[in-house]
A and B are shown apart, each in its own frame.
Chain A
Amino acid sequence: MKKEILEPFNISDNNFEQCVKCTICTVYCPVLEVNPDYPGPKQSGPDGERLRLKDPNFFDESLKLCLNCKRCEIACPHGVKIGDIIQMARIKHSKKKPIVRDMILANTDIVGTMASTFAPIVNPIVALKPVRRIMDGVLKIDHNRIFPKYAGMRFETWYRKYAEKKQSDFKKHLSYFHGCYVNYNFPQLGKDLIKIMNAAGYGVHLLEKEKCCGVALISNGLIKQATKQAKHNVEAFKKSIVDKKMPVISTSSTCIFTIRDEYPHLLGVKNEEIRDESELATRFLFRLIDSGKLKLVFKDSYKKRIAYHTPCHMEKLGWSIYSTTLLKMIPGVDFMALESRCCGIAGTYGFKKENYETSQGVGKPLFDQIDNSDADFVSTDCETCKWQVEMSTTKKVEHPISILAEALDVEATMKLWQDK
C-alpha cells in the first residue's frame, strides 16, 4: 500500500479546530504557573480564537503576557499551533500601540549601531544605578536589568578588516547570519564560529546585507517593520543559498527559529526556497560529523564540567541534541543536562518593568538547578537566555560554539582533511 498523507478538510492555517480541549498545554505553560492574570494557552489560543472569529472584541490584552516560548505547542498531542494562534491574535487585534520603551527594545539593530559607536560612554552609563532608576521610572525598563555590554568594534567591521580576505582560501563556502547580538555585543562568538568553520574547511562569508531577524519587533507589535525586514532577509538568504549554493548558518537559536518558522507563520513571508538550508551552526557541524565528512580533534588540556540549558526555541526546533552531542564529543567535558525549562526572559519580555516579577518567577526553578549544580559554567544556544542566567545565578554562560572553539585543536583538525 502506498503511503498516505493525512489531509484533513476545512482546517484553518493555525488548525485551532483540531484542539480537543484536553488542557495538556496549560500544564506546561510557564507563565500560568506564576501569573494567574494570564488566561493560559488553551483559553488564549484555540478557545479564544473561536470567540474572536465571531467578534474581535473578545480579544484580551492579557495575551501579551504570553512569552511565545511555544512549550504549549510541543506538549499538544494534536499538533495545534497554539503559540502561533496567540501571537496572530495579538498581531490582528491588539489596540495597544508600542510605547517608546518598546521601540528601543525592539529596534536592536538601530539601537545597537548607535550604542556600539559610543560603546565606551554607553556601557558605563547604562550600568549606573541612578541611570537604571531613571530608565525604570521613565521608560519602564526594570532597574534590576543590566543591558548587555556593547562592543567597541562591531563584528561586521572586524570581519571586513581582519577575516574576509582569508575566506577565499577555502574550497567550500557558507554564509553566516550573525544577528544583532554578535554584531553589537559579542563579536567573539562570531570569531569563534569562523575559527571552527575554517578548521573544518569552510570559508565563512557574510550576507550581502543582513537585517535583524525581527523577533523583537514581532513581540513588540511592530509588524510592518518586521515584515519588511523579513522580506529583505529572505532575499539576502536566497542570494546565498539559491544563487551561490552556499547554506546559511547562525549561532542564535531564536534568530534561526524566527527566520524558519515565524516568517511564514506570523508574518506571511514565504521562505520555502531557503528554509531547509538555513540552520544552526551546531546542526551543520553535526551533519558533517554524523555523515563521516568531518572529524574534529580536541585538545586534551580542556577540562570542564558543563551544564546545558535548552532554550525554548531550541526545544521547539528539537535541535538541542546537535549542540549537546558536539559538547559531549570533547573528551574533557563532564556534561550534565539541566531540566528543560523556560528561563523567563523571552527576549525583551523580561526587560519590561511590568513583566519583571513574572520573568523571574518563571525562571526560578532553572536558577535553583543551576545554583545547586557543581558545573563550572552553563552552556546555551540563546543570547537572551545567557543574559538572564548570568543576571539571575552565580554562573557564567558560554555558547557551545565558543566552547568548541576553545577546546578545538585547529591544526590537528585541519590536517585531517588537508592530507586527503
Chain B
Amino acid sequence: MKFDNIIIGGGLSGLTCGIKLAEQGRKCAIVSSGQSAIHFFSGSFDLLSKVDGQEVKNPFEGMKSLASNHPYQCVGLDNIKRLADEAPKLLDRAGLTFSGQADQNHFVLTPMGVMKPTWLTIDDFTRFEQNDAFPWKKAVILNFSGFLDFHTLFVQDGLKKFKVDTQIKNFAMKEFDAIRRNPSEMRSTNIAKVFDQGEDALNEFAQKVNELSEGFEVVILPAVFGLFNKNVAAELKAKVNKPVVLLPALPPSTPGIRSQILLRKRFEELGGTYFLGDNVETGTIENNKLLAIHTNNHGDIKLEADQFVLASGSFYSKGIVATREKLYEPILGLDIDGDVDSKKWLDEKFFNDQPYMHYGVKTDSKFRALINGKPIENLYVAGSVLGGANALKEGSGAGISLLTSLHVAEELLK
C-alpha cells in the first residue's frame, strides 16, 4: 500500500502534521495504536507557562532562556513565532475554535480552583486576563448528583482566595437515573451523550440552572456538554440567563473527545487514511532510508511511503520504553537521547525536575531520526517522542506537539 507520507501516531501531533500535509495535497496515512491523549484534554493548549519555576508572561520571551536542545530552540524561535500563528488557524479549519495569543499568556480556572497560564483555550471555556482576580463576586457551583468526577469543594476553596462568595448545589434529573445506577458509568461522556441526543434534556437542564442560580452572578458547571454534537455548550450558554463558566472534569474529557473526532474528520475529509487500533511492528530500512513499515493488521502487506513521521508519543504512549535496564524506541530501535545508566533516570525527590522526562528520540538538525548516529533520510520525528523538554514542568506539551509537527510538515513539503 503506497502513500506519499505515513505518520506513526494519531494524537495531537500526528493529526496536526497529517492535516497540514493533506491540505497541501499529500496522500497521507496515519497509523494509531488506539485512541489518543487528546481524550484527556483540559481544554487549553500551553505554549510555555513556566521557566525555572517562574510563571511566564510572554512565551516568546521565556523561550530565549530554554536550553539549546529544547525542541523550540531546535525549530528556531523565528519559526516558532510564525507557526504559533498558524496553529490556531489549522484548528479552526477543523471546526475547533480557540482563542489566545502566543506572545501573552492568558489564564484559565482549573478544577482545582487555581488560575493557570495558557496559550490557546477552546471556546467551551472562559478566558481570564488576570490571575489574581475573578470577575464575579457571587458564584453558584452546580453539579449532577452522583457525578464523582467534578470536585466542587476544590473549586470553592480556590475561589475563596479571590473573595468570591460561593455556594455548591447538587441536583438530579430523571434522565440520569439510569446511568446513576452504575456509579462507574456516571462519567462526563455518558452525561454528554444524554444532552447530545435531544433538546428536551438540555431545556430542562437550563431551566433548572436558571432556578438554582437565582441571586448569583455566575454559574460554574463541569464541562460535560457536546460530545458528538459540537453545538451543545454554546446552546446551553444561550439558554442560561447568566454567564456560565465551564470547568474541566476528570477524563475522559468531553471537549477532548470532540476535538479528536473533529481533527480526524478533517484529516479524512482531506483524503487522509486513518488506521485505528493497529500497531506498527517494524520497518524496512535500506541505505539509511525507511522504505516501508509493517503493521499487525496488515501483516505481509507493507505500508510504503516517500517520507515518514514518527509521532508516537512519550513513555505513556510507548513511543519510548524503559525496562529496568534500558531505554529504547520500540519500532525501529532509533537512537535515544537519554542516560544509559538507569540510576540517573530518577531524582529521589518526586517533585523535582525528573531527568527521564527529558528523554526522547534523538534527531539531527532537520528533525530526522538517527540509527547509530546516522540520519534516516526520510524519517522525521515530531511531538512528545522528541526529547529535550520537561513538558510537565514547563507547561509546553501541547505547544511542542503542535509546533514541531507543523515544522516537520514544512520540512517534508520542501
Using a CB–CB distance below 8 Å, which chain A residues touch chain B? 1-6, 22-24, 26-28, 32-33, 36, 39-40, 42-43, 47, 73-79, 276, 283, 286-287, 290, 315-319, 321
Contact = CB atoms under 8 A, between A and B. Distances in A.
B297 A43 contact: no
A22 B182 CA distance: 17
Contacts of B371: 1
Given A22-B251, A36-B182, A47-B184, A75 B277 contact: yes
A79 B179 contact: no
B25 interface: no
Contacts of B357: none
A24 B252 contact: yes
Contacts, number: 108
B358 interface: no
Nearest to A42: B184
Contact of B252 (A2, A22, A321): A22
Interface of B: 1-2, 33-37, 39-40, 178-179, 181-182, 184-185, 187, 189-190, 193, 227, 251-252, 257, 273, 275-279, 282, 295, 297-301, 317-318, 321, 326, 328, 330-335, 371-372
B193 A287 contact: no
Contacts of B317: 77
Given A6-B318, A36-B185, A1 B328 contact: yes
Contact of B34 (A1, A43, A77, A286): A77
A73 B227 CA distance: 20
Contacts of A283: 301
A3 B39 contact: no
Contact of B184 (A4, A43, A315): A43
Nearest to A33: B193
B335 A1 contact: yes
A218 B187 CA distance: 32
A33 B194 CA distance: 9
A276 B334 CA distance: 28
Contact of A316 (B1, B35, B178, B277): B277
A282 B248 CA distance: 45
A224 B225 CA distance: 47
A1 B372 contact: yes
Contacts of B181: 36
Contacts of A276: 299-300
B185 A1 contact: no
Contact of A74 (B184, B277, B332): B277
A32 B185 contact: yes
Contacts of B179: 36
A2 B328 CA distance: 10
Contact of A1 (B1, B36, B257, B333): B333
Contact of A318 (B37, B39, B298): B298
Given A40-B185, A315-B277, A23 B252 contact: yes
A47 B182 CA distance: 13
A61 B274 CA distance: 36
B370 to A, nearest CB: 10
B180 to A, nearest CB: 9
B187 A26 contact: yes
A283 B298 CA distance: 9
A86 to B, nearest CB: 15
B252 A318 contact: no
Contacts of A40: 182, 184-185
A233 to B, nearest CB: 20
A3 B332 contact: yes
B243 to A, nearest CB: 29
Contacts of B277: 73-75, 315-316, 318
A188 to B, nearest CB: 28
A43 B182 contact: yes
B333 A2 contact: yes
Given A77-B34, A290-B1, A27 B189 contact: yes
Contacts of B278: 318
B366 to A, nearest CB: 21
A27 B191 CA distance: 11
B315 to A, nearest CB: 12
A315 B37 CA distance: 21
B330 A6 contact: yes
Given A26-B190, A27-B257, A73-B277, A78 B185 contact: no
A346 to B, nearest CB: 18
A290 B301 contact: yes
A47 B183 CA distance: 13
Q: Sorted from nearest, which 7 A-B pairs have the closest CB atoms?
A: A318-B297, A74-B277, A77-B34, A36-B178, A3-B333, A1-B333, A4-B328
A199 to B, nearest CB: 22
Contacts of A24: 34-35, 39, 252
A221 B2 CA distance: 43
Contact of A287 (B273, B297, B301): B301
A290 B302 CA distance: 10
22 contacts: A1-B334, A1-B372, A2-B333, A3-B331, A4-B328, A23-B187, A24-B39, A26-B189, A26-B252, A27-B252, A27-B257, A28-B35, A36-B179, A74-B34, A75-B35, A75-B277, A77-B35, A77-B37, A79-B33, A283-B301, A287-B300, A290-B301
Nearest to B282: A3
A236 B26 CA distance: 45
Contacts of A4: 321, 326, 328, 330, 333
Contacts of A318: 275-278, 295, 297-298
Contacts of A22: 39-40, 251-252
A77 B40 CA distance: 12
Contacts of A1: 328, 333-335, 371-372
Given A2-B333, A276-B300, A317-B297, A74 B182 contact: no
Nearest to B176: A36
B255 to A, nearest CB: 13
